[in-house]
Amino acid sequence: MTTQTGRPLVALVSAVRAAIPPAEAAFAAEFPGAELWNILDDRLLAEVDDRGGLTPELASRMERLIRHAITEGADGVLVTCSVYGSVVHALKAADATAGLPVPAFASDDAAFAAVLAGGHRSVLLLSPARAPLADSFERLSAAATAAGVDIAITAAVAEGAPAAAAAGDVEMLAEILHDTYLTDGAGVDAVLLGQYSLSPAGPALAERIGLPVLTAPHRAAVALREAVEQGGRLP
Question: pLDDT (tens digit, 0 to 9) for every residue of the chain, 235 residues total?
Answer: 555 567 999 999 999 898 999 999 999 999 999 999 999 999 998 899 899 889 999 999 999 999 999 999 999 999 999 999 999 989 888 766 556 789 999 999 999 999 999 999 999 999 998 888 998 999 999 999 999 999 999 999 999 999 999 899 999 999 999 999 999 999 999 999 989 999 999 999 999 999 999 999 999 999 999 999 887 544 3
Same domain, 113 and 211: yes
What residue numbers bound the domain in which 61 lies?
Answer: 9-107+218-230
* 2 lies in some domain: no
Q: What is the number of structural domains in the chain?
A: 2
3-state secondary structure of 118: coil
Instruction: Kindly report the backbone phi and psi dihedral angles of residue 53, in degrees, each rounded to the nearest multiple of 5, phi listed first.
Output: 145, 180
pLDDT at 234: 40
pLDDT at 5: 66
Same domain, 23 and 84: yes
Q: What CATH number corresponds to the domain at position 119?
A: 3.40.50.1860
pLDDT at 2: 55
Same domain, 32 and 77: yes
Q: What's the order of all strands across the beta sheet hosting 152-157?
A: 152-157, 122-127, 191-193, 213-215
* 1 lies in some domain: no
Same domain, 188 and 125: yes
pLDDT at 97: 55
pLDDT at 232: 55
Same domain, 49 and 74: yes
Give Cβ neighbours of residue 21 (< 8 Å, ≥ 6 apart). Answer: 168, 200
pTM beyond 0.75: the answer is yes
Instruction: Kindly report the backbone phi and psi dihedral angles of residue 212, in degrees, each rounded to the nearest multiple of 5, phi listed first.
Output: -65, 135
